[in-house]
Copies of this chain bind each other. A is one copy, B any other.
Amino acid sequence: MTIINHFHRILHGGDYNPDQWLHIPGIIDRDFELMEQSCCNTFSVAIFSWGQIEVEEGKFDFSWLDDIFARCAESGKKLFLATPSAAKPAWLGKKYPESCKVRSDGHRDFWGKRQNNCLTSPIFREKVRQINRKLAERYANHPALGGWHISNEYNGEPCCCDLCIRKFHEFLKEKYGTLENLNKQYWSAFWGHHLTDWDQIHPLDGSMNTARLDWRRFITANTVEFFRMEIDAVREFSDAPVTTNMMGYYDPLDYWKFVPYCDFIADDCYPSWYHGETEETAVYFAMLHDLHYTMLGKPFVMMESCPGIPNYRPYVKLRRPNEFQREMLLALGHGADGTMYFQWRKGFGNCEKIHGAVVGHDGGDQTLAFKRVADYGNKLESLSGIVDSAKAPEAAVIYDWESNWALDLTNGFGGTETKKWQETARLHYRALWEKNIDLAVIDSDQPFDSYKLIVAPMLFMLKKGVAERLKRFVENGGTLVMTYLSAYVDENNACFFGGNPGGPDLRRFFGIWNEDIDGLEPSSDQTLLWNGKKYRVSDYAEYLHAEGAEVTGVYGGEFYKGSPALTVMRQGKGKAVYLAARTGLDFLSDFYGKLLEETGIRPVLEGMPTGVKASRRTAANGDAYYFLLNMTEEPQTVVLPRELREIWGTDTLRKSVEIPSRGGTVLKG
């Protein structure tokens, strides 16, 4: 299925804010000329236009938006119409202060900025429902309507008003049933924090880990509820697909909870291709793209990206040649069916006035930015075959928001800069990605069945049922890799009775007892010995006892030298691998190389030289599309394993292709 019904094109366009330009004659005409010139076909509109539409309470002016809709319909463009809840009008915030967030210091914020809303406030919900209905009613059947862009970058900064805190208490009542149960789960006798009334629970008590964990869950749940309310308002009139744009790994919101309500997934991606970090940056976004494909198991839209450079970077570095196309092809190759920009035209004032855009302050088509967008847009036509084509990953990496929260909120194991759960997940992902295999990124609540290999890096929390599902996965023939700092707590961030990993049952399953964990100072020279080689270990080394598992790697130093660092336990048709220490990419690369051989997972395309990365998408008709990206500063020649047709900027059968420095290409066959 295409993202927009019956629109068989890769979406190309971006955020369009004509309402900022109404007072300057000729701008909008010029916009539409430049859109044609750059082959843009889809735009998001009205994201921050509430005040331009509901100009005063109950008084609406749709004229400028009608005009944009009409122009798009006429020229065959599609619009993602935004619900404008991200930024309320000034009049609304001033008249209804309860619509503004109360900060953790107890102060209610003033109306400004954005996503500065109390999502619990009844009056705010009512006002959003009204404007959403107005928009839906008016444009539901417009031929230019492509879908709904619900709000914009919901954020997870809590509102601490009384309404929110009372609602949090209701959320807890629903979850725990009785205070007695909650007291047990919270281990509240610690520091004498036994609770005798629901209203005693304070979400900001740093000593009550689980209250804080539940508060984060509540923030997500309340935001999802708000999101659903927004969708419901729209759905009264319109069947067009809905989405909301996510912000990558954004920690405060568990995006998996939004997925069931999205018709397609949208994400905002702002890489910085700093010198010497090309692969790290590519991995950062490749993993995100895989996450977003995995969420609904179908193509997503890169809803925002930057044809120039985001203004908030420490170094607002000009784009190097080819780099932009490589960035776009990375998204397409990993499952995007659209690459769009924030934003179409740079505004003259306010806090993003120098954020890179398609059209600059000069207003013309002669800038590097415009020319690269136009060049890319024109080439895109050759790729329409990839629309709605699929990926088929046999390996998955678990990246679980709630588990990360639990680790974050657990006092111990050093601080965030040592825990590095996100970096660790990416490092495991990277070791696999380097092998050019197709990957999924899941959270621990997703099905495990379709994979041969599941990697659980630092899966600190085992939610209900996860241990059982992992066991079944292994018994049915899967390979599970779990690492240090996994299976320490249950879904309420409480430790397991009976030792790690995961209490007696899972201990038996892995055939190990993880007695304790050694925090390694930077000066430590601890190592892991495996397969005849010695690898550096840092930050964490768990002290394991083998209780049935095969010890395949051991420690090279300290008083526990020779004790298990890597174990394998065969269970049913599969195996459960435990990696007890933090290693570098060197080890992970060797380790996963061997593991992929054992599990029979093959690269999407053989024979890639170092520095060239390949991904694949397969159309319903069986056509395979190969995206080859050059991660180096030098041109690369790739000898192909078989003759393929190069379709990016050309249409030629190739036995080998030349990829320009920082560039990419697409092959079919």
* Docked complex Cα distance between A184 and B19 (Å): 12
Is residue A495 contacting chain B, with contact meaning CB distance below 8 A? yes
Nearest B residue (CB) for A411: B351
Q: A105-B105, A354-B413, A361-B495 are in contact. List 16 more A-B contacts (CB 8 A).
A: A48-B189, A52-B189, A52-B194, A56-B196, A91-B197, A112-B202, A112-B208, A188-B350, A209-B350, A210-B349, A276-B523, A311-B413, A313-B519, A316-B412, A354-B412, A360-B516
A520's partner among B185, B317, B495 (CB-CB below 8 A) is B317
Q: Are A110 and B205 in contact (CB under 8 A)?
A: yes
Is residue A69 contacting chain B, with contact meaning CB distance below 8 A? no
Q: Are A194 and B349 in contact (CB under 8 A)?
A: no
A317's partner among B185, B205, B521 (CB-CB below 8 A) is B521
Query: 5 A-B contacts, Cβ less than 8 Å apart?
Result: A20-B190, A93-B200, A112-B205, A348-B495, A369-B516
Contact indicator per residue, chain A 476-519, by CB within 8 Å of chain B (1) or not (0): 00000000000000001111111110000000000001011111
Q: Are A192 and B84 in contact (CB under 8 A)?
A: yes
Is residue A355 contacting chain B, with contact meaning CB distance below 8 A? yes
Is residue A637 contacting chain B, with contact meaning CB distance below 8 A? no
A48's partner among B49, B192, B206, B314 (CB-CB below 8 A) is B192
Nearest B residue (CB) for A559: B321
A350's partner among B24, B186, B351, B558 (CB-CB below 8 A) is B186
A516's partner among B89, B112, B207, B318 (CB-CB below 8 A) is B318
Q: Are B193 and A368 in contact (CB under 8 A)?
A: no
Q: Residues of B contacting A558 with CB < 8 Å?
A: 318, 320
Q: Residues of B contacting A347 with CB < 8 Å?
A: 187, 190
Contact indicator per residue, chain A 205-217, by CB within 8 Å of chain B (1) or not (0): 1111110000000
Q: Are B50 and A361 in contact (CB under 8 A)?
A: no
- Interface members, chain A 297-334 (any B CB < 8 Å): 308-309, 311-318, 320-321
Q: Residues of B contacting A88 with CB < 8 Å?
A: 192
Contact indicator per residue, chain A 404-423, by CB within 8 Å of chain B (1) or not (0): 00000011111100100000
* Docked complex Cα distance between A381 and B349 (Å): 57
Is residue A594 contacting chain B, with contact meaning CB distance below 8 A? no
A361's partner among B202, B499, B523 (CB-CB below 8 A) is B499
* Docked complex Cα distance between A112 and B93 (Å): 32
* Docked complex Cα distance between A207 and B90 (Å): 14
Q: Nearest chain B CB to A277's CB is how many angstroms away?
A: 10
* Docked complex Cα distance between A101 and B311 (Å): 34
* Docked complex Cα distance between A89 and B192 (Å): 6
* Docked complex Cα distance between A208 and B363 (Å): 23
Q: Residues of B contacting A311 with CB < 8 Å?
A: 411-413
Q: Residues of B contacting A367 with CB < 8 Å?
A: 515-516
Q: Are A499 and B195 in contact (CB under 8 A)?
A: no
Q: Are B349 and A187 in contact (CB under 8 A)?
A: yes
Q: Are B495 and A346 in contact (CB under 8 A)?
A: yes
Q: Nearest chain B CB to A599's CB is how many angstroms away?
A: 33
Interface, chain A (partner B; CB < 8 A): 17, 19-20, 23-24, 48-52, 55-56, 84, 86-91, 93-94, 105-107, 110-114, 184-197, 199-200, 202, 204-210, 274-276, 308-309, 311-318, 320-321, 346-355, 360-364, 367-369, 410-415, 418, 492-500, 513, 515-521, 523-524, 543, 558-560
* Docked complex Cα distance between A560 and B276 (Å): 20
Which one of A23, A113, A193, A492 has the greatest number of beta carbons of chain B within 10 Å? A193
* Docked complex Cα distance between A380 and B295 (Å): 60
* Docked complex Cα distance between A307 and B494 (Å): 22
* Docked complex Cα distance between A410 and B361 (Å): 15
A411's partner among B187, B191, B320, B354 (CB-CB below 8 A) is B354
Given A314-B414, A495-B353, A192 and B110 touching (CB < 8 A)? no
Q: Residues of B contacting A94 with CB < 8 Å?
A: 197, 199-200
Nearest B residue (CB) for A19: B189
Q: Are B314 and A193 in contact (CB under 8 A)?
A: no
Nearest B residue (CB) for A190: B350
Nearest B residue (CB) for A200: B90
* Docked complex Cα distance between A323 and B410 (Å): 27
Q: Are A352 and B190 in contact (CB under 8 A)?
A: yes
Q: Are B90 and A193 in contact (CB under 8 A)?
A: yes
Q: Nearest chain B CB to A190's CB is how many angstroms away?
A: 4
Q: Are B521 and A207 in contact (CB under 8 A)?
A: no
Q: Are B363 and A318 in contact (CB under 8 A)?
A: no
Q: Residues of B contacting A320 with CB < 8 Å?
A: 558-559
Q: Are B90 and A195 in contact (CB under 8 A)?
A: yes
Q: Residues of B contacting A91 with CB < 8 Å?
A: 196-197, 200
Q: Residues of B contacting A209 with CB < 8 Å?
A: 349-351, 353
A200's partner among B23, B111, B346, B414 (CB-CB below 8 A) is B111
Q: Are A194 and B90 in contact (CB under 8 A)?
A: yes
Nearest B residue (CB) for A47: B192
Q: Are B191 and A519 in contact (CB under 8 A)?
A: no
Q: Nearest chain B CB to A150's CB is how many angstroms away?
A: 16
Q: Nearest chain B CB to A109's CB is how many angstroms away?
A: 10
Q: Are A518 and B87 in contact (CB under 8 A)?
A: no
Nearest B residue (CB) for A499: B362
* Docked complex Cα distance between A411 and B314 (Å): 11
* Docked complex Cα distance between A628 and B659 (Å): 64
Q: Residues of B contacting A87 with CB < 8 Å?
A: 191-193
Given A308-B516, A517-B316, A351 and B190 touching (CB < 8 A)? yes
A494's partner among B348, B362, B493 (CB-CB below 8 A) is B348
Q: Nearest chain B CB to A516's CB is how many angstroms away?
A: 6
Nearest B residue (CB) for A520: B315
Q: Residues of B contacting A315 with CB < 8 Å?
A: 414, 418, 519-521
Q: Nearest chain B CB to A494's CB is how many angstroms away?
A: 4
Q: Are A362 and B418 in contact (CB under 8 A)?
A: no
A196's partner among B17, B55, B355, B543 (CB-CB below 8 A) is B55
